[in-house]
Chains A and B, each alone.
Chain A
């Protein structure tokens, strides 16, 4: 059996020609479920269509995607219109889609767009109707299925954020024909019951599963509700009419709970921080005031001490002055003065006496030496005249002795001491000045008379001028 050899390209090109010449493959409508979906950033959409047994690669090129009125989703049942072509670089055949229809509800997308447009025109999505979401919610209403991930997520997240949260759940049907009515009832029941905020939503699902949230009555109920509503339908990529009309759209039920319920722990931290700041502010203030008052007090005390010192000083000065004026002190002072004077007087008198004594002794010495001289003279004369009569000599001796005696007496008479001893006194006034004349004293003056063995205090009675020869 002859075997011809071909290149890969030759074989691929042959297959490609076969596909392209086949009238059936050139225009087909293929129904199947979307998988391996990629919205490529080039703008092309790559996906696969599959059923229970088979899978076929598919693509919709950028130039055709504008005709696609809804977003393809994994698992979505669609009908894709196009041709089967071969893609040589990967050796694969694929369905090049010109148009894709939602097989489950081919008209649902249209209904969605129509309702969205209509509600938008009626102003249900208008930002001015959005109610603010309260920051601190204590009672949270939830309209969702009582079972499933959505309700669990909401409860868990809410309690984690604020353990004290009260959740009122309206167990609603969120899927099927009764769902829309059930959701509307739930919203109204919770509004009547009274909650701070509502979460209305459900977990992920197909567009049909979520369809209740695309119905007008639900949209209207959300719009009419006086309580703020956060919508939380399906996954982040699912957007429903309810999301447009709600006061806030959360991408998922857990995200809705994060938004709805404040973080209690953060709040407590904030609270504590404020309390601390407040306390420390007050504490600082009080400390500073204390410091200030302490300074003032210290200054006050210092000032007070200074004043006291000053006063004490003045008092002492005054008291010294006063003491000196007292009779006792005056007397003392006088006594001291008198004592001083007396001492001075004594000293002076001693001086005078000493002087006089000296003078006296000098005089005596003079007199003695004079006497010696005379005796010598006499002796000499006597020796010179040995032949004179004894009597003459004796007479002369007697004479000499006599004269000597007289002179001695005379000398005695000139000595003040002698005078004093003979009843004369040395007269001075209070100032120790000698009283030499009546001019030196007057009646009433105290005078002191010094005699050989002491002083006599006396008072002048009167003075009289007397001529003493």
Chain B
């Protein structure tokens, strides 16, 4: 479960890093574009990660099964 958290945070950190690099004007355009491409992919992954899923509250039964709660 912990790996998802790392992915999201790592992705954000990576995008932030790329942005810092892109803000340096001496970066060649090709590299800047690579960073952009990578960042867009990462942000897409982040978006997928945090996307709304169907909200669910389930009650876990003592036998290990779950039932809808509410």
Q: Which residues of chain A have a CB within 8 Å of any CB of chain B?
A: 134-139, 141, 146, 155, 159, 163-171, 185-186, 189-190, 192-196, 227, 264, 267-268, 270-271, 274-275, 277-278, 281-282, 285-286, 288-289
Interface positions, chain B 3-23, Cβ under 8 Å from A, are 4-5, 8-9, 12, 15-16, 18-19, 22-23
What's the Cα separation between A167 and B59 when bound, in Å?
8
Within the assembled complex, what's the spacing in Å between the Cα atoms of A159 and B70? 13
Cβ distance B54 to chain A, nearest Cβ, rounded Å: 8
Alpha-carbon separation in the docked complex, A278 to B53 (Å):
26
B60 touches A193 (CB 8 A): yes
With A134-B1, A136-B4 given, is the CB distance from A282 to B36 under 8 Å?
A: yes
Residues in B whose Cβ lies below 8 Å from that of A194: 1
Ranked 8 nearest A-B pairs via Cβ: A164-B52, A134-B5, A167-B57, A164-B53, A196-B1, A281-B22, A282-B36, A170-B60
Q: Which residues on the B side are within 8 Å of A168 (C-beta)?
A: 57-60, 66
> What is the 8 Å Cβ interface bit string for chain B, positions 30-61, against chain A (1 contact, 0 not)?
00110010011001001101111111111110
**In the complex, which of the residues A170, A195, A281 contacts B1, with contact meaning CB atoms closer than 8 Å?**
A195
Additional A-B contacts beyond A137-B5, A138-B53 (17; CB < 8 A): A135-B5, A136-B5, A139-B1, A155-B57, A166-B58, A167-B69, A168-B57, A189-B60, A189-B62, A190-B60, A192-B64, A193-B60, A196-B4, A274-B12, A274-B19, A278-B39, A281-B36
Q: Is the CB of B22 within 8 A of A159?
A: no
**B62 pairs with A169, CB closer than 8 A:** no
User: Can you list 20 A-B contacts (CB < 8 A)?
Assistant: A134-B1, A136-B49, A136-B50, A138-B53, A146-B59, A155-B57, A163-B52, A164-B53, A168-B59, A169-B59, A170-B60, A186-B60, A195-B1, A196-B4, A270-B12, A278-B19, A278-B22, A278-B40, A281-B22, A289-B29
Contact B62 A264 (CB under 8 A): no
Residues of chain A within 8 A of B1, CB atoms compared: 134, 139, 194-196, 227
Beta-carbon contact of A277 and B19 below 8 Å: yes
Q: Across the interface, do B55 and A165 meet the contact criterion of CB distance under 8 Å?
A: yes
Q: How far is the CA of A315 from the CA of B7 in the complex (A)?
A: 70
Which residues of chain B come closer than 8 Å to A167, judged between CB atoms? Answer: 56-58, 69
Interface residue tally on B, bucketed by range: 35 or more
Q: Tell me the minimal C-beta distance from B68 to chain A in angstroms.
A: 10
User: In the complex, which residues of chain B have a beta carbon less than 8 angstroms from the beta carbon of A171?
Assistant: 59-60
User: From B46, which residue of chain A is reached at the shortest CB distance?
Assistant: A271
Q: Give the residues in chain B near A192, CB-CB below 8 Å.
A: 64
Give Cα distance in the complex from A275 to B33, angstroms.
14
Does A169 lie within 8 Å of B36, measured CB to CB? Answer: no
CA A195 to CA B60, docked complex, whole Å: 11
CA distance A286 to B30 in the complex (A): 11
Cβ-closest chain B residue relative to A278: B39
- Cα–Cα distance between A288 and B32 once the two chains are bound (Å): 13
A139-B1, A281-B36 are known contacts. Are A166 and B53 too (CB-CB below 8 A)?
Answer: yes
If the complex has contacts A136-B8, A196-B1, are A274 and B55 also in contact, measured as CB distance less than 8 A? no
Bound together, the chains give a CA A220 to CA B25 distance in angstroms of: 57
Q: With the chains together, A170 CA to B63 CA distance in Å? A: 11
Residues of A within 8 A of B23 (CB): 281
Contact across chains for B55 and A159 when beta carbons are under 8 A apart: yes
CA distance A135 to B6 in the complex (A): 9
> Which residues of the partner chain B approach A186 to less than 8 Å between Cβ atoms?
60
Contact between B51 and A164, CB atoms less than 8 A apart: yes
Give the distance in Å from the alpha carbon of A137 to the alpha carbon of B66 in the complex. 19
Q: With a CB–CB cut-off of 8 A, which chain A residues contact B49?
A: 136
CB distance from B29 to the nearest CB of A (A): 5
CB neighbours of B39 from chain A (8 A): 274, 278
Give Cα distance in the complex from A198 to B62, angstroms. 17
Residues of B near A134 (CB, < 8 A) are 1-2, 5
Structural contact, A146 and B69, CB atoms closer than 8 A: yes
A185, closest chain B residue (CB) = B62
Distance between A192 CB and nearest chain B CB, rounded to angstroms: 7
Residues from chain B with a CB closer than 8 A to the CB of A185 are 62
Contact across chains for A267 and B50 when beta carbons are under 8 A apart: yes
